[in-house]
């Protein structure tokens, strides 16, 4: 469901945005919506990756192999 919002921008920026949107054959509203959606999507992807990375760190990683010596054997002098 779409909903309108009101924003305040500098007049020069509005004029340039209208020219740019006309060149792209779209609307200023669509350009702003696409940019905001991209920002929100990137933030959501970042947060997901961050949660996954912390979960992976909590579980640890098995790198294969095994320890053949005891701690004491490794630290003998």
- pLDDT tens-digit map of 2-34: 999 999 999 999 999 999 999 999 999 999 999
* Structure tokens, 26: 């779209």
> Which tens digits make up the pLDDT trace of 58-68?
888 888 888 78
**Global pTM value:** 0.69
- What is the residue whose two structure tokens read 């192999």? 65
According to DSSP, residue 64 is labeled S
Dist CA 14 CA 49 (whole Å): 36
Q: Label residue 46 by pLDDT band (50, 70, 90).
A: very high
- Measured distance CA(47)–CA(45) in Å, rounded: 6
């Amino acid at each position: 469901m779409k909903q309108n919002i009101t924003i305040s921008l500098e007049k020069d920026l509005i004029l340039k945005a209208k020219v740019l949107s006309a060149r792209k054959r779209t609307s200023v509203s669509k350009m702003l919506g696409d940019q905001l959606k991209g920002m929100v999507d990137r933030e959501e992807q970042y947060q997901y990756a961050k949660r996954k990375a912390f979960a992976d760190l909590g579980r640890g990683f098995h790198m294969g192999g095994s320890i053949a010596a005891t701690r004491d054997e490794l630290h003998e002098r």
